[in-house]
Amino acid sequence: MKRFLTLLLALGVAGLAIFWFLTLPNRLPADAMAGLTGDPAKGEQLFWMGGCSSCHAAADATDAAKLQLGGGQEFPSPFGTFVAPNISPDREHGIGAWSSLDLANAMLRGVAPDGHNFYPAFPYTSFAHASTQDVADLYTYLMTLPPVTTPSQPAKVGFPFNIRRGIGLWKMLYMPKDWVLTGDLTPAEERGRQIVEGLGHCGECHTPRDAIGGMKRGSWLGGGPLPVGKGSFPNITTGKLDWTEKDIVEYLTTGFTPDYDSAGGHMALVVQNMAHLPESDRAAIAAYLKKVPPVQ
């Protein structure tokens, strides 16, 4: 019995050690942002592409209030309710004390400055496709926005999902290792891929998820149920969406569909964001969507 207990204890310690090692924060190299100068004009375009204000400004924000990123919006899910944090330049309650490397680790690796893992409600599985230059540009723009002194609120998540360290294992399964759409692409399709799979993070809503919240990349953009309640995100592949590229561009510009309906809910905010981008980017998104394999 003594030997058995000793063996059991040794296995437990070994298991904890393996868990600890596998879930260490995977940060970027310390010199990842060295030599990069941010362009605030490009950063503003990336800000709208990423829809930052749609989550981090107040839900009813309009005009200049969209640039007050004090957080506070709640996003319910099967795992609990996540609350958007303050990402304004306020040094105490926002990210004003962060470096550009801190922002890069958050967006590209899902790691906070103190080393804890962010919940993937922050769509770093998509943002990971952005470049460090993208992050430098976005950081420079964010630091020009007004500071907001509202404290960030914690997520309302219960056990075991509140164990941040365990998210390191989730990342091993779901952090992207390649683009979803591969092969020979035109420049427009490649640009569309950068937006849709990257900062535009379209798959975060329009791709179905498995039991532990990972996107089912084999059904990419094939739609799926809303996180809570009734309804679903639509299938936006050619398996369901028969719009022309011109139709898609018009929708992303004005919010009007070919049958004279209009975007509603959170998609209306997406359209408002996309309208800030050059028409060539909206055309690139359309070209990409027509290239994605259909999901029936």
Show pLDDT as tens, one digit a residue, over the chain (296 residues).
766 566 566 556 555 556 555 667 789 999 999 999 999 999 999 999 999 999 999 999 999 999 999 999 999 999 999 999 999 999 999 999 999 999 999 999 999 999 999 999 999 999 999 999 999 999 999 999 999 999 999 999 888 788 888 899 899 999 998 999 999 999 999 999 999 999 999 999 999 999 999 999 999 999 988 888 788 899 999 989 999 999 999 999 999 999 989 988 889 999 999 999 999 999 999 999 999 999 98
DSSP 83-147: EPPP-SS-TTTSSTT--HHHHHIIIII-B-TTSPBPPTTS-HHHHTTS-HHHHHHHHHHHTTSPP
Fold of the CATH domain 187-291: Cytochrome Bc1 Complex; Chain D, domain 2 (1.10.760)
- pTM (predicted TM-score): 0.91
- Rg of the chain over Cα atoms, rounded to whole angstroms, equals 20
Question: What residue segments make up the domains of the chain, in order of their start?
Answer: 28-174, 187-291
**Token duo for residue 48:** 């709208």
Please state, in angstroms and rounded to a whole number, the distance separating the CA atoms of residues 149 and 116.
23
Secondary structure (3-state) at 265: helix
DSSP run (H or E) holding 76: strand 74-77
